Amino acid sequence: MLLTSLNFVFLSLSPFHIDYSQKKEGTFQDYESIDALLDSCIINKRLEEMYVLEKILFGSNDDVIFHNFYSAVLDRMLIASRMRLTDPFKVETPVKNLVQINQGGKNVVVSCVGFGKRRPKDLLKNLQTSLEKSGFDGFFYYRIGGFPTPRGVELNFCATPYAFKIFMMEEAKNLGFENILWLDARLQALKNITPLFSIIEDNGGLFNLTHTMGRDKVFILAQKALFDLTQTEYQKNRALSTPVLGLKMNHPKIEKIIDGFYEACVLGTPFFSCYPEEIVLAALIQKHFSDAIFLNQKYPQIWEKLYLYSPNAKMDKKLAVFSKRKNFFFFGVSNEGIDRSFL
């Protein structure tokens, strides 16, 4: 009874919801207003309330045990829901741009960063340069600050953790692209990535399997909300990793997945984990595209050499050289080394 009543309260309005008028394209004033709303800590307060309710469901009176289980989730939610849309120093304005890479073509890479030190804009320049050097022919679509609004409703969801990935891909679809590859901004291409688009074209998407989704990093509320949305149990779904994610946007099953993702954004609660967009997409893939091919099934050599992230600044240079020598597609610089390029 308790879980049902909690769902009634929190699934009716997302804890990440931003009460703002819907617009097809946000303005600088819109972004400033939303940043001010986020600065007011309304999202933080809602997350803290959810944390308290989760403790009730967890059924433990031991604060230490519960904190060890779930504090990492709350921390990640606070980081993910606070990607600044405008420059806090009021020097730069939000930018979106579509850049031709080499000879151009039908394929597009998308990525974005917010303002601030956590993901500086030079990461996108490094990514663009690496795509040019790799021999890739296509386009690169990116945003610095601001927020993608392909359906006109997304400003309400701008605090939903990592939802911008799907919104950016949907926005690229509106620009006329079908096969779209999302890349996290910390990644740099080490070789021509055109074969990855053949996988997207042939299979409807590029889905990368991971083994890191621990049960203690997903709220009970999220598990229940995911089941209500998809009738799947997240522990049984194939764990999806999205630093590299490809979608064939006009594929009927992908369209259903994206529509379902928007439904999850309205609910909000399915995103309560350390892997917000990943467990949501994994559940939606299982519901709408259960026969989807993951890389490890059909392309094990690509799966094993898709990307390598550096864990810290001391390892950046060594792992950049190693990943290049071992023929990885991408190298990901560490959080500590994001202001440097090693390639």
Which has the higher per-residue pLDDT, 65 or 343? 65
Same domain, yes or no, for 149 and 6?
A: yes
Residue range(s) defining the domain that contains residue 108: 1-298
Helix (H) and strand (E) counts in the chain: 13, 9
Q: Do 199 and 310 have their domain in common?
A: no
Residue 144 one-letter amino acid? I
Neighbours of 159 (CB within 10 A): 24
Quick one: 111 and 235 in the same domain? yes
pLDDT digits (tens, 9 = 90+) for 235-277: 899 999 999 999 999 999 999 999 999 999 999 999 999 899 9
Asked if residue 126 and residue 152 are part of one domain, the reply reads yes
Provide the 8-state DSSP code for 249. Answer: T
List, as one string, the DSSP characters of 269-336. GGG-BSSHHHHHHHHHHHHH-TTPPBHHHH-HHHHHTSEEE-SSHHHHHHHHHHHHHTT-SEEE--ST
Assigned domain for 27 exists? yes
Length of the chain, please?
343
Cβ neighbour number for residue 232 with a 10 Å cutoff: 17
Residues 199 and 311 in one domain: no
Q: Is residue 123 part of a domain?
A: yes
- Say what the pLDDT of residue 341 is: 55
Q: What is the pLDDT of residues 80-99, one digit of tens each?
A: 777 899 998 889 999 999 99
Specify if 343 maps to a domain.
no
In a domain, residue 36? The reply is: yes
Give pLDDT, residue 224. Answer: 93
What are 120-173's pLDDT values in tens digits? Answer: 889 999 999 999 999 999 999 999 999 999 999 999 999 999 999 999 999 999
The answer to whether residue 275 sits within a structural domain is yes
Q: What is the pLDDT confidence band of residue 3, given thresholds at 50, 70 and 90?
A: very low
Residue 341 placed within a domain: no
310 and 285 in a single domain? The answer is no
Regarding whether 309 and 237 lie in a shared domain, the answer is no
pLDDT at 77: 82
Which tokens hold the place of 312? 């810290």
Of 72-81, 125-134, 196-205, 307-316, give the lowest mean pLDDT range.
Answer: 72-81
Residues 84 and 67 placed together within one structural domain of the fold: yes
Q: Are residues 228 and 291 in the same domain?
A: yes
Contacts of 103 (CB under 8 A, 6+ apart): 137
Q: Find the range with the poorest average confidence among 55-69, 110-124, 163-177, 318-332.
A: 55-69
337 within a domain of the structure (yes/no): no
Cα gap 17→42, rounded to integer Å: 10
Are residues 150 and 1 located together in one domain of the fold?
yes
Q: In this predicted model, what pLDDT tens digit does every residue of 98-121 receive, in sequence order?
A: 999 999 999 999 999 999 777 788
Q: Distances from the Cα of 48 to the Cαs of 55, 75, 130, 137, 234, in angstroms?
A: 11, 10, 41, 46, 24
Residue 4 has pLDDT above 70, yes or no: no
The chain-wide mean pLDDT, for the chain, equals 90
Would residue 342 count as lying in a domain? no
Residue 284 and residue 313 in one domain: no
Instruction: Give Cα separations from 305 to 285, 322, 328 (angstroms).
Output: 23, 12, 5
Instruction: Provide the pLDDT confidence category of residue 10 given band limits of 50, 70 and 90.
Output: very low
Q: What are the tens digits of pLDDT across the range 278-288?
A: 999 999 999 99
Number of domains making up the chain: 2
Pairing, β 179-183 against β 240-248:
antiparallel
Sign of CA dihedral 100, 103, 105, 111: negative
Round to the nearest angstrom and report the end-to-end CA distance of the chain.
Answer: 56
Residue 306 has pLDDT above 60, yes or no: yes
Q: Burial letters for 304-327: b for 16+ Cβ neighbours within 10 Å, e otherwise?
A: ebbbbbbeeeeebeebbeebbeee
Asked if residue 212 and residue 314 are part of one domain, the reply reads no
Instruction: Give the integer Cα–Cα distance in Å for 100 and 134.
Output: 14
pLDDT tens across 176-188, in order?
999 999 999 999 9
Contact indicator for 277, 166 with CB cutoff of 8 Å: yes
According to the model, what pLDDT value does residue 330 have? 98
pTM for this prediction:
0.93
Count CB-CB contacts under 10 A for residue 67.
13
Angle between helices 220-230 and 276-288 (to 10 degrees): 30
Cα–Cα distance measured from residue 253 to residue 286, given in angstroms and rounded to the nearest whole number:
11
